[in-house]
Structure 1
Amino acid sequence: MKGAKPWDYDAAVEEGRREVLDLLVRLVQAKSENPPGDTSEPSAVIEDYLSDNGFSVRKHEPERGFINLLASLGSGEEELTFCGHIDTVPAGDPEKWAIPPYEGRMASGRVYGRGSTDMKAGCASLAFAFVRAARLEKDVGGRLVLCMVADEESGGRRGVQSLISSGLLRTKNLVLGEPTNHRGTGHVVVAGEKGVYWAKVTLGGVSRHGSLPMLGENAILKAQGPLKRLSYPFLGKVTTPYSALTLVRETKKVLSKEYVDEARKKPHFAADHYTVNVGVIKGGTKVNVVPDSVSMELDVRVPLGGTKEEAERLLKARLPKDADVEVINYAQPAYTPPSSRLVRMVREAGREVFGEETPAICLTATTDAHHFRTSLEAHAVAYGPGMESMCHVVDEYVEASEVLGACKVYLRLAQWMLTGGARPSDPS
């Protein structure tokens, strides 16, 4: 299939615009909050869509309600996987929404609702591109896989992790449809992610009657010093690996533009510093009892080049020596080299469709991509429709134009990566 004639990507998308937007609306209407994590409704929407288009779908349900879907087309050494998560964070109080979160209303060129941006727009675009790829060329010159997963919003144990550990999912190249549009920059390619080090820190005290607090040791008050030291979010800077310098430099630029109104808070430092957030604090049993224990759950983000050991050392330097530190979650930082073919192809496709610079960056948060990089040593990136700032907010929405543009990008990738079709800047 080398040298195959380029597909008419844009015509295919414009012809199917109603199809993909209708699919998105139905996905938004299919509730899948995590917790509790049940993806039965959106998985049924995707399964019906694929079945109606002639595809057989494999269902994987490691725990009741946590449904993951797999479909594939073509064969050969070249392979590409499209992946998206169909769970969402909870909508919260529906009274706070101007438009009901699960109505899936389309208005003024936007689709509104919980999960519209994060990331059912990406899922609809990926599924549509997968189906259209089969229509455009019967014999795809490689293997294209579509993977729709559960549990991303809770770490992926019953989603991507389960698929990989069970041997159902293997890939060399992965594209996630996560929202990657940023204010001031436009769409980016997320080629790396910081690591996660979550710890539960417990401080002890001495319990006495609340009427005689001077006789006890108040564990909550004992936490004041550590909390003050942890109020500064930057624990320390890392030496960035040479091959990741471009990613970190571009990340700083993107963060500076995105949060230009909050520049004094130095959000761009997050690109190459360990950061800490005090997320949960619990202490005391009753108002008239001096608390003998207080616990804090801390979220430390580990930059490219950082380690679990250094994260723990920097954290403990801000805690009392008698603090008990329990690691409750760890994921190492990982990235796909910006010089890789996959990153170059996604950037090229993004430039061609949206006319943007499309830099490759490192995300300060995490996605399912880190499972593929660390467990399968795959090249993995995120690129998708929607503003990153729209994730997890009330009155979430996505622009229809972004959904259609993402479809055009994904169709280009399917041909460029699998069939050897014409592409502007990939050397032959």
Structure 2
Amino acid sequence: MSLPTDPAANLAELIRCPSVTPAEGNALSVLQGMLKALDGTVERPVFSEDGTPDIENLYARLSGNGPHLMFAGHTDVVPPGDASAWTHPPFAAAIANGEMYGRGAVDMKGGIACFVAALARYVEAHGKPKGSVSFLITGDEEGPAINGTVKLLEWAAARGETWDAAIVGEPTNPEKLGDMIKIGRRGSLTGRLTVHGRQGHVAYPHLADNPVRGLLPMLETLLEPAFDAGTEMFQPTNLEITTIDVGNPATNVIPSEATATFNVRFNDGWTAEALQAEIHNRLDVAAEASRLRPGRDTPVAFDIDWLGRPSPVFLTRDDRLVETLGASVEAVVGQRPQLSTSGGTSDARFIKDYCPVVEFGLVGQTMHMVDERVALADLETLTLIYLRFLEDWFD
């Protein structure tokens, strides 16, 4: 059986699998075939939870004595949207002008294809690594992230698996390969604010309490002043209001409630608990100072609900992992990558509880877009970077 050394061929096989989350779409089966060619052991655990779709995952390992390196990622992709808007069909893996088109090309089937190719080239040149390489691949990263990486890590750890380091192959480079390694991520916290009023006719406002009057100053106090000015390795904490709703289809009715949802991306100056306390304190002060109707003495009544589980902030300080990857990037592309904590969350937020983790993958400019695509030259370059890292890591 030939080894999967060609990243473009690997990626084409994966793109042709319509693995729109939560569907497996045969993508994990294709990946399993590649890893079997490398003499890896492959398992496909399925995890479930009430109210969420069952998710199939993949854990593979090439065993040896020595350090254990994890490569983590996901084969599920976001929906392509209107397929007719694409220059080439979203699951055809068409090649035009030196680029491969397809949903998942950069986020993140491309990263998986390159790491598989790099490992195959390593095995071809050196034999099995002087250590272990495992693949921790989920089908739930683009979904609710409940039956994926979190449970797969717990499942593997319960079987005695431990790791010395991990690379997540998400698209991390903003402009060109070699720009950036992600060594941490800001935390994420989502809340929903509900202000209570009294419904009534707009022509008789004295008989009602308009909750919008209370909501607006409360939102203002969440936006100003700034929570902080940033820290050494992180951007300033930022809160964005994402929805405002009164659930009111009528134009002549004062609503009884007004809600707003917000998300905060926070740096290492905060814990989720401390940030929740700060937000609640700001809202308490604004509610006490605000009124739903001029001349009334009752402060604004509100509730706040925290949605989902907060994602903690983290920073990887493992010098060997960061230095080895940085040197590998520089050796291939001729520049030292920036170490960054920018961007959104990823499954690295779960992996960091088990071992040091960094993120490095393709250029992310077209991810989630119509005509998502990757340069074939970038696939080869990323494969060379991963190969150099494997050689240096297991040296």
TM-score (norm 1): 0.79
Structure 2 residue aligned with 1:58: 43
| Separation in 2, partners of 1:181, 1:21 | 19
Q: Give the corresponding residue for 1:143.
A: 132
- Alignment partner of 1:345 is 2:345: no
Structure 2: runs of 5 or more not aligned: 288-300
Aligned equivalents of 1:191 and 1:415: distance in 2? Answer: 21
> Counterpart in 2 of 1:237?
228
Deviation at 1:130, TM superposition (A): 2.8
- 1:89·1:153 contact (CA, 8 Å) conserved in 2? yes
1:171 aligns with one of 130, 151, 163:
163
Q: How far 1:238 sits from its partner (Å)?
A: 5.6
Specify which of 348, 351, 357 is matched with residue 380 of structure 1.
357
**Letter in structure 2 aligned against 1:173:** A
* Aligned residue number for residue 244 of structure 2: 281
Alignment match, 1:393: 369
SS at match of 2:379: helix
Q: How does 1:27-426 map to 2 (within 5 A)?
A: 27-34=14-21, 37-63=22-48, 65-154=54-143, 156-168=145-157, 170-183=162-175, 186-209=178-201, 212-230=204-222, 235-237=226-228, 240=231, 245=232, 248=233, 271-287=234-250, 289-316=253-280, 318-319=282-283, 320-321=286-287, 322-328=301-307, 329-337=309-317, 340-373=319-352, 375-376=353-354, 378-385=355-362, 387-418=363-394, 420=395
More deviation, 285-294/340-349: 285-294
Unaligned runs of 5+ in 1: 1-14, 249-270, 421-428
Give the ranges of 4+ consecutive aligned residues of structure 1 lying more than 4 Å apart after TM superposition. Answer: 228-232
Measure the CA separation in 1 of the matches of 2:25 and 2:372: 22
Report the CA distance between 1:23 and its aligned residue.
1.7
Q: Which residue of 2 is the match for residue 259 of structure 1?
A: none
Deviation at 1:217, TM superposition (A): 1.8
User: What secondary structure, in the 3-state scheme, does the structure 1 residue paired with 2:341 have?
Assistant: strand
Determine if contact 1:114/1:396 at 8 Å carries over to the other structure. Answer: yes
Q: Give deviations 1:173-213, integer Å, cap 9, x for gaps.
A: 00011112223894311111101111121111112245645
Does the aligned pair in 2 maintain the 1:127–1:146 contact within 8 Å?
A: no
Give the Å deviation of 1:220: 3.6
C-alpha deviation, 1:74, in angstroms: 2.6
State how far apart, in whole Å, the 2-side matches of 1:348 and 1:147 are. Answer: 24
- Determine the C-alpha separation between the residues in 2 that align with 1:111 and 1:184: 16
CA distance in 1, matches of 2:203, 2:19: 49
Give the Cα–Cα distance (whole angstroms) in 1 for the partners of residues 319 and 370 of structure 2: 37
Structure 2 residue identity aligned to 1:292: S
Report the CA distance between 1:110 and its aligned residue: 0.9
Percent identity over paired residues: 24
Q: Aligned in 2, Cα 1:211/1:23: closer, same or farther, shift over 3 Å?
A: farther
Alignment partners' CA distance in 2, 1:42 and 1:212: 61
Structure-2 change in CA distance of 1:30 and 1:185 (3 Å) = closer
CA–CA distance in structure 2, aligned partners of residues 94 and 162 of structure 1: 33
1:24, distance to aligned residue in structure 2 (A): 0.8
- Distance in 1 (CA, whole Å) between partners of 2:167 and 2:156 is 19
* Structure 2 counterpart of 1:41, one-letter code: N
Q: 1:353 is aligned with what amino acid? A: V
Per the alignment, residue 24 of structure 1 pairs with 11
Contact 1:164–1:170 (Cα < 8 Å) also in 2: no
1:239 & 1:187 partners in 2: Cα distance? 22
- Closer, same or farther: CA 185–41 of 1 in aligned 2, 3 Å: closer
CA distance in 1, matches of 2:216, 2:255: 14
Q: Residues 282 and 181 of structure 1: is their aligned pair in 2 closer, same or farther, counting only changes over 3 Å? A: same
SS in 1 for 2:183: strand
Is the Cα–Cα contact under 8 Å of residues 203 and 295 in structure 1 kept in the other structure? yes
Deviation at 1:65, TM superposition (A): 4.9
Secondary structure at the aligned position of 2:60 is classed as strand
Instruction: State how many pairs are aligned.
Output: 369
Task: Quickly say closer, same or farther: Cα 1:170–1:157, change in 2 above 3 A.
Answer: farther
- C-alpha contact 1:70 1:146 (8 A) present in aligned 2: yes
Change (3 A) 1:132 1:61: farther
Query: What is the root-mean-square deviation of aligned Cα atoms in Å?
Result: 2.5
CA contact (8 A) 2:210 2:256 kept: yes
SS at match of 1:295: strand
Q: What corresponds to 1:257 in structure 2?
A: none
